[in-house]
A and B are shown apart, each in its own frame.
Chain A
Amino acid sequence: MHIDSLILTGKRRILPRFGLTLGFTLLYLSLVVLIPVSATFAKASGLGWVAFAQAVTTPRVLASFRLSFVTALYAGAINAVMGVIVAWVLVRYRFPGGRILDAIVDLPFALPTAVAGIGLTALYSVNGWPGHPIFAVTGMKVAYTQLGILVALIFVGLPFVVRTVQRVLEDLDLEYEEAAASLGASRWQTIRRVVWPELMPPVLTGFALAFARAVGEYGSVVFIAGNMPMKTEIVPLLIITKLEQYDYRGATAIAVVMLILSFLLLLLINLLQRWSTSSRAR
């Protein structure tokens, strides 16, 4: 007797039914995501439209929004490029120390973000290495500037791109590339026409994950940013500041705008991903 028929016709079902699994999924999602997000919206709604608009459109709030989202986008883009190179090197080349490099990639996952922030600040301050030579040669400070924030966001976001792309590269059979080469394609043509279409969706996924992490990052950034209002103050820090001032509604109003903007950007990236996957299928 076939296993399917056992499951369908037997009196005692082994697998849980759709209703139970859906119920469990909805309950879990509600507890972890929907209820906290709804509570944030509910708290912010107590402000009223005018007060809400005033709370999220002050020059200080707008400057921190601009800083958080722009640096997160830059960090995501840099991580997307460097992540592909690192993943390619780790998967395709054998060289001494390769396994150590592979292990290093997961460091930001394991390291507490505050520790990373302390390390990066010590390293990129004008007395640190390479902060000192950078300052001596270019006159440019890294720590306590927007550049420092970018460095911290690159640190926390890199493994998202590397690990996402690495898995796909490992599964990508070399036979496709050999087939392209045997049909007369140059190495560049093979990369562009065979490998890149496969890599595009994971690169976008990695970018989205790195961007989402960067937008909400607090621990590592707070040390290296300097936290100067209008200059190096990120949105999560502004929310903490508002909470410390017992301005709970102001804090949730900023959080709501951040949630909406992040959601819209992630939706856009998801649509891009779908488009790239469907255009590959065609």
Chain B
Amino acid sequence: MTADTLITIPKGRATVRDPNLIRWPAILVAAAFLLLFLLVPLFTVFYEALSQGLMVYVRAF
């Protein structure tokens, strides 16, 4: 038996991979937080700007 066979190499870095029970809720929380606090306010600005129609928006300039 060689020394190499005695060392167990973790496959696919499973030892440092978070379980799915942590992984997916974390992704959901991060995505929801970014969408709610950063992306939705930006879309709201566009929505409010164009809510009266494109012609009203253009005429505003």
A residues sitting closer than 8 Å to B (CB atoms) are 82, 85-86, 88-90, 92-93, 95, 97, 101, 104-105, 107-108, 111, 115-116, 118-120, 122-123, 128, 130, 151, 154-155, 158, 174, 177-178, 181-182, 187, 190
Q: How large is the interface on B (under 10, 10 to 19, 20 to 34, 35 or more residues)?
A: 20 to 34
B42 proximity list for chain A (CB < 8 A): 107, 111, 119
What is the CB-to-nearest-CB distance from B21 to chain A, in angstroms, rounded to a whole number?
A: 11
The residues of B that contact A116 with a CB separation of less than 8 Å are: 41
Q: Judge whether A122 and B45 touch: CB under 8 Å.
A: yes
The answer to whether B26 and A158 touch across the interface, beta carbons within 8 angstroms, is no
In addition to A95-B27, A97-B31, A130-B36, 16 A-B residue pairs with Cβ atoms within 8 Å of each other are: A85-B30, A86-B33, A88-B26, A89-B27, A93-B18, A101-B31, A104-B34, A111-B42, A118-B45, A120-B41, A123-B41, A151-B37, A155-B37, A155-B38, A177-B15, A181-B16
| Residue of A whose beta carbon sits closest to that of B23 | A93
Q: Chain A CB within 10 Å — which of B8, B27, B36, B38 has the most?
A: B38
Give residues 4-61 of B contacting A (CB, 8 Å).
8, 10, 13, 15-16, 18-19, 23, 26-27, 29-31, 33-42, 44-45, 48
How would you classify the secondary structure of chain A's contact residues: helix, strand, loop or mixed?
helix
Q: Which of chain A's residues have a CB closer than 8 A to the CB of B16?
A: 174, 177-178, 181, 187, 190
**When the two chains form their complex, are residues A104 and B39 in contact, meaning their CB atoms are under 8 A apart?**
yes
Which chain B positions have C-beta within 8 A of A90?
30
Bound complex: CA A174 to CA B16 (Å): 7
A86 B44 Cβ-Cβ under 8 A? no
Complexed CA–CA distance, A93 and B25 (Å): 12
User: B27 contacts which chain A residues (CB < 8 A)?
Assistant: 89, 93, 95
**Docked complex Cα distance between A145 and B41 (Å):** 18
Name B's interface SS.
helix
Q: Are B44 and A128 in contact (CB under 8 A)?
A: yes
Name the residue among A88, A92, A97, A101 with the largest chain B CB count within 10 angstroms: A101
Contact with A181, one of B10, B31, B39, B45 (Cβ below 8 angstroms): B10
A-B contact pairs, 26 of them (CB 8 A): A85-B33, A89-B26, A89-B31, A90-B30, A92-B18, A93-B27, A101-B31, A104-B34, A105-B38, A107-B39, A111-B42, A116-B41, A118-B48, A119-B41, A119-B48, A122-B45, A122-B48, A123-B44, A154-B37, A158-B37, A174-B13, A174-B16, A178-B10, A178-B13, A178-B16, A182-B10
Name the distance in Å between A230's Cβ and chain B's nearest Cβ: 27
Nearest CB of B to A250, in Å: 34
Question: In whole angstroms, what is the CA distance A101 to B38 when docked?
Answer: 10
Q: How far does the Cβ of A159 sit from chain B's closest Cβ, in whole Å?
A: 9
- Residues of chain A within 8 A of B30, CB atoms compared: 82, 85-86, 88-90, 101
